[in-house]
Amino acid sequence: MIRFWLHLFFVLAWLGFWEPAEARRARFKPIPPKPKKSDAEQAIEKLAPVQNINIDQMSGKWYLLTVASRCKNLLESGFKVESTTVTWTVTGDMVSVSTVRKLNFECWEIKQNYMKTKTPGQLLFKGKRPAENVDIMVLETDYSSYAMVAFKRAGKITMKLYVFASADVMPMTDFDLEQMGGKWYLIGFATNAKWFVSHKDDMKMGTAMMTPTEDGDLDISYTNMKTDGTCWRMTHLAKKTETPGRFLFYSQRWGNDNDMRVVDAKFDEYALVHTIKTKGGVSEILNKFYSRTTEITDDLKEKFRQFSVDTGILEENIVMLPPNGECSVA
């Protein structure tokens, strides 16, 4: 009896290890090589932000100008896409993005948070699963007029071209050169420029003497009393353009081109001036608030704050300058 059971055990064991020839061939069938990536797929993998992109300078409101994508929704209804605005707010390592668009005659807002990465100019939007993560790359921008941004997910890409809201900032329609003349106190100062961020706590109120010329230009002389009692002085001749209230000048001291626009003024009380400063192909925004006196109302302070935020200036970089002594006339 024992021999019978041993014999049966070995037969069953042998049958357990046996498999048909077709199954053996399938099990040992070589794995086919991965298909070669197309030129387009290789190009997508090589996409990268330009060097030295500063995400902090992307803060502000942007208009979506055009989109390039093969996503099904855009292919089917792209002709129905309406105006879209995107507001970037940078806080530490996070970028809060608010997208507002019209759909069926209603405004919809989508809020997302992008995280900074170790690669300058590259952000990450985390999906519910790793496969849903989106890489966001700022491919090219001058921070003050346009930005080309790529969104990459699962080997597919969407390209978007934005224009900065500040590019639409125009001078006031009823600008009067003669009324702009005279003495002004520089009370409000707002910019994301690095030099300002590191020196803003030491800055104080200064004065500007604006003198219209016979040719329609504006001669501007700045003075500011330093802590040691000496005076800092600077002069620019802002050349008129075809648009009243818009002037251009080159700063020898700072080596930059300046596009200056008087966007709002009550000439016997205040003037709000918006300047785009460009050096080496990189632009920065500078907003200044001038007053005929050394004090302004809370309403005017809020006007300056809101305008600066709308043109991309971070809240912490909007400063109302403290009083200061005045320099004597040179």
For residue 27, what are the β-bridge partners? none
Mean pLDDT of the chain: 83
Q: Give the range among 159-168, 188-197, 234-243, 321-330 with minimum mean pLDDT.
A: 159-168
- The residue ranking higher by pLDDT, 272 or 34, is 272
Place of tokens 């900065």: 164
Is residue 280 within 8 A of residue 187, CB to CB? The reply is no
Give residue-wise pLDDT tens across range 51-64. 678 888 787 778 88
Answer whether residue 69 shows pLDDT above 50. Answer: yes
CATH number of 40-168: 2.40.128.20
DSSP per-residue string spanning 66-134: EEEE--HHHHHHGGG---EEEEEEEETTEEEEEEEEEETTEEEEEEEEEEE-SSTTEEEE--SSGGG-E
Task: Indicate whether this model's pTM tops 0.75.
Answer: no
SS3 228: coil
Residues 175-188: what's their mean pLDDT? 97
Answer whether residue 5 shows pLDDT above 60. Answer: no
Q: Which of 230, 193, 231 is nearest to 209 (CA)?
A: 231
Q: Which of 267, 248, 268, 266 is nearest to 258 (CA)?
A: 248
pLDDT at position 180 is 97
Same fold, 40-168 and 177-320: yes
Residues 110-118: what's their mean pLDDT? 91
Amino acid 14 reads: W
Query: Which pLDDT band holds residue 15 (cuts at 50, 70, 90)?
Result: very low
Q: Which CATH number fits domain 177-320: 1.20.140.10, 3.30.200.20, 1.20.1740.10, 2.40.128.20?
A: 2.40.128.20
Give residue-wise pLDDT tens across range 276-314. 888 877 778 899 999 999 999 999 999 999 999 888 888
- Which residues fall within 8 angstroms of residue 100, CB to CB, at 6 or more apart? 84, 85, 86, 87, 107, 108, 109, 110
Answer whether residue 20 shows pLDDT above 60. Answer: no
Give domain limits for the chain.
40-168, 177-320
For residue 236, what are the β-bridge partners? 220
What's the maximum distance between 2 C-alpha atoms anywhere in the chain?
Answer: 127
Is residue 146 within 8 A of residue 160, CB to CB? The reply is no
